[in-house]
Amino acid sequence: MSIQVSIDEASPRSINALARFLKELEAEYPDALRNADVIADPGGIIYVGAEFDTDAENLEAGDEMARLSTQLQEETGVLVVLSPRTRERKSKPHAESRE
């Protein structure tokens, strides 16, 4: 797992909320965190960028993690949001056409 974190200042409460979010995301979608990144905007919202294999998996993860985001915000006042993206597939080289 490789996560790049870019947060200028974070309270212990924010770090704990982020840790819970990442732990749950890793438990449900272990491959999503291979090239993840975390940034916080000036308003304190923490965005977790993660890669998924398919658009369908993006939607599924988005729905599941939105529920956790709501729970964390209610419990801690910290909003951690999933920012999913579909992993780029490397296309196979096409054989040259022969005439």
Beta-carbon-side half-sphere exposure of residue 58 (alpha carbons within 13 Å) = 13
State pLDDT tens for residues 6-28. 666 668 888 899 999 999 999 99
Higher pLDDT, 57 or 43: 57
- Asked if CATH classification 3.30.70 holds for the domain at 3-86, the reply, yes or no, is yes
Phi, psi of 26 (to 5 degrees): -65, -40
Give a three-class secondary structure readout of 34-78. CCEEEEECCCCCEEEEEEECCHHHHHHHHHHHHHHHHHHHHHHCC
Q: Global pTM?
A: 0.80
Nearest to 44 by CA among 3, 9, 12: 9
State pLDDT tens for residues 66-95. 999 999 999 999 999 999 999 876 655 555
User: Could you identify the residue written with the tokens 């905007």?
Assistant: 41
- Can you give the residue ranges of every domain in the chain? 3-86
Task: State the angle between helix axes of 55-76 and 12-28 in degrees (0 to 180), rounded to the nearest 10.
Answer: 150
